[in-house]
């Protein structure tokens, strides 16, 4: 999925949803919580699409530079993946934004394919800076 984000186009954005279970997956005992970013909860894939689709017009690419990652296998069909990474966003105006992040992904195996049930990300508290802002500070 992150390979698709390296070229942030509408086609690749649409393909990213293939990595997720349906919002009404039986694993959820009530309301789903597909995506969490800091304290924001996005409950369904439809709301995730609504929240992130506008970024297509503003972003050129995204990249992760892994720092640490961890895997916990809970059962034959359930796993948790945790990562710490430097996250870089390149916008269509040529600006680059970098920040540290951690993310936790809960995977479930559906018909022999690992799918994302839940994703949570948190960012470092400092404000992201563009390359131009970094140059000005020097």
Q: pLDDT tens for residues 58-86?
A: 988 888 899 999 999 999 999 999 999 99
What is the residue extent of each domain of the chain?
2-137
- d(Cα 115, Cα 113) in Å, to the nearest integer? 6
What is the CATH number assigned to the segment(s) 2-137?
A: 3.10.450.50
Tokens matching residue 4: 């698709």
- DSSP secondary structure string for all residues of 33-51: --EEETTEEE-SHHHHHHH
Among the listed residues 77, 76, 101, 74, the one whose alpha carbon sits nearest the alpha carbon of residue 2: 101
Q: What is the pLDDT along the chain (138 residues), one digit of tens a residue?
A: 878 888 888 998 999 999 999 999 999 998 999 999 989 999 999 999 999 999 888 988 888 899 999 999 999 999 999 999 999 999 999 999 999 999 999 999 999 999 999 999 998 876 555 666 667 776
The radius of gyration of the chain from alpha carbons, rounded to an integer in Å, stands at 16
Q: What is the pTM of this model?
A: 0.83
CA of 31: how far to CAs of 24, 28, 34, 38, 64, in Å? 8, 7, 10, 19, 30
CB-based contacts of 100-103 (< 8 A; 24+ apart in sequence): 100/67, 100/124
Structure tokens at 9: 């186009």
């Amino acid at each position: 999925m992150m390979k698709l984000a390296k070229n942030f186009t509408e086609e690749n954005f649409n393909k990213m949803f293939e990595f997720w279970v349906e919002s009404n997956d039986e694993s959820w005992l009530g309301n789903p919580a597909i995506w969490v970013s800091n304290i924001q909860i996005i409950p369904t894939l439809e709301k995730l699409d609504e929240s992130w689709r506008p970024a297509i017009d503003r972003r050129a690419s995204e990249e992760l530079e892994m720092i640490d990652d961890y895997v916990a296998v809970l059962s034959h069909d359930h796993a948790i993946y945790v990562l710490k990474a430097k996250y870089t966003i390149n916008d269509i105006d040529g600006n680059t934004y970098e920040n540290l992040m951690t993310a936790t992904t809960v995977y479930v195996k559906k018909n022999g394919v690992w799918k994302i049930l839940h994703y949570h990300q948190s960012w470092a508290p400092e404000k992201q800076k563009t390359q131009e802002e970094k140059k000005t500070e020097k």
